[in-house]
Amino acid sequence: MNGHVMHFHVLTLFPEMVSQGLSESILGRAAQRGCIELETVNIRDYTENRHKKVDDYPYGGGAGMLMQAQPVFDACAAVKERIAARRSGEGRADREAAKEALATEVPATEPPAKEASAKGVPYGAQPPVRVVYVTPQGEVFSQRMAEELAAEEDLIFLCGHYEGIDERVLEEVVTDYVSIGDYVLTGGELPAMVMIDAISRMVPGVLKNEESAETESFQDGLLEYPQYTRPEIWHGRQVPSILLSGDHAKVGKWRLEQSEERTRQRRPDLYEAYSRKDRAVSWLSKDRLSHMDMLEPIRRGQADVIRAEEGGVLLHDRPSGVWMLSASDADMGERLLSEIPRGEKELLFAVHQDFLVESIDRRFHRNRVNVCRQAVYTRKTPPAPDGGFMVRPLTARDADAVYENYHTVHSREYLLGRIGAGAMFGIDGPEGLAAFAGVHEEGSMGMLEVLPAFRRRGMGEALEAWLISWMLKKGWVPYCQIFDGNGPSLGLQKKLGLKLASGRLYWIS
């Protein structure tokens, strides 16, 4: 069984339609191997009506019937309870395994059990479960969204029928409103199945060839290139000779050219977005060290290129919500800033020129500025510091210790989210967590903290070296940002072999 199991929970009036439709072919085999799990829940089982009625006439009149709030809410609550119970059991098993492994490596004792946190988040809490309501009124489903949702451990799909669902329960339980296109279907089951199929393909182990999920239509914003199989000649049509040459470099180049041309002809909207990304990378690469914070989110597929010209680039990083921009002069900076909507309550900026600071304050009334230096690890092999410390992934059980020692920098919710994403790691001391570090939502290394009693032992160096190795294995370029004037941190980056960019980076909130 594979390490990451994707759990789908579908709330529906027709459970057999979903379970039978997803039990065949690739998804059926993936379920047998334990890569994905599917739970179908009949909403009728949760109605309080003795006739199993789940719908009623809409207030204010109108055609058709509406699904009632009570059975939908109770069905969703029951699923969430089962998810919480399963996660709690898995957490206990993980802690026992970690405890057993640590006993042979580092002397450690379990921290004392704690009650609920003073901040209102229970000790050992898990990230909330996303509930997807499939509706023509939602955001249009895309490959990018499939990749994002595939990172979740559990997804609940709510399938409507009749004329829809009572708005009050939607407001209470739904986190995502998603559509598969601008047309109306008789129910939400088919859209849910479409999304589950697309999301499942992103889950490790579902496809036999792991690369096939990464090299097909819409990857890198391009349509897939044409493909051929035997016979070599069919109906007088010859397979392109380049595919028979055995020259993999030439084949790869031909396929990219075909993908670009096919996208340009058939999907000009996709081709324009692809061209923007290409222009952005070209301009930012003129100073790679200074712009690694923008190049990496593009390369990792998590940033939307809003505008890219010779002289400036504007990105929006989806996971963090950060607006990233770099401009050659103030005029270009103003043009880039004009693309950012002013209505958002929470706006966070990362900019590369000081003349943008005043413009952002004037336009968006954001004037809290942190000035940073950027450091980039450019080597292909990781550093190997001494120390022999054992680094482990953090779990929700570590949230209190992390927050207590880092609450002035990030909120508990943010730290818990990074732990839940598997992006935070730590070293234990004799009585609990001694040091921790992680990777931020936008992709930089950070959150490095060594508790006072354990400083000057090399734990910080060991943790960052471990993070660098972890990121290199993922094919990422490790980089970090250090507050201007933090001499000890700058010294650590130089010791580990990171190169400092010449300019400054300004975080504005």
pLDDT of 433-465, one tens digit each? Answer: 999 999 999 999 999 999 999 999 999 999 999
Q: Where are the beta strands (DSSP E) in 310-397?
A: 312-317, 322-327, 348-351, 369-376, 391-393
pLDDT digits (tens, 9 = 90+) for 103-159: 434 333 333 333 333 333 333 456 789 999 999 999 999 998 999 999 899 999 999
pLDDT of residue 163: 87
pLDDT at residue 103, rounded to an integer? 45
- At 15, give phi and psi (nearest 5°): -60, -35
Alpha-carbon gap, residue 432 to 401, rounded angstroms: 9
Neighbours of 62 (CB within 10 A): 10
Regions of the chain where pLDDT drops below 50 = 1-2, 98, 101-124, 211, 213-217
Distances (CA, A) of 141 to 135, 178, 194, 239: 11, 6, 10, 35
- The answer to whether the CB of 440 falls within 8 A of the CB of 418 is yes
Could you tell me the two tokens for 241? 């000779």
Q: Judge contact between 463 and 391, C-beta under 8 A.
A: yes
Q: What pLDDT is stored for residue 221 in this prediction?
A: 82
Between CA 22 and CA 255 the distance in angstroms is: 32
Cα Rg, the chain, nearest whole Å? 26
Q: pLDDT tens for residues 84-119?
A: 999 888 766 655 654 554 443 433 333 333 333 333
pLDDT recorded at residue 115: 33
Identity of the residue numbered 19: S
Burial 283-320 (b: 16+ CB within 10 A, else e): bbeeeebbbbbbbbbbbbebbebbbbbeebbbbbbbbb
3 state DSSP class of 196: helix
Question: Rounded to an integer, what distance in angstroms lies between the CA atom of residue 40 and that of residue 26?
Answer: 19
Residues 131, 158: contact at Cβ < 8 Å? yes
- Are 287 and 313 within 8 A, CB to CB? no
Interior/surface letters 414-424, b for 16+ CB within 10 angstroms, e for the rest: bbbbbbbeebb
DSSP character at residue 138: E
Structure tokens at 345: 């309550």
Measured distance CA(352)–CA(297) in Å, rounded: 16
- Assign 38 to helix, strand or coil: strand
Provide the β-strand partners of residue 439.
445
CB atoms < 10 A from the CB of 278, how many?
A: 16
Q: State CA 424 to chain mean position distance.
A: 14
- Say whether pTM exceeds 0.85: no
Amino acid 283 reads W
Do the Cβ atoms of 225 and 216 come closer than 8 Å?
no
Q: 444-453 — which CB contacts under 8 Å span 24+ positions?
A: 444/293, 444/479, 444/480, 444/481, 445/471, 445/478, 445/479, 445/480, 446/480, 446/481, 447/402, 447/406, 447/409, 447/410, 447/415, 447/418, 448/489, 449/402, 449/405, 449/406, 451/405, 453/429
**Please, are residues 217 and 146 in contact by the beta-carbon 8 Å criterion?**
no
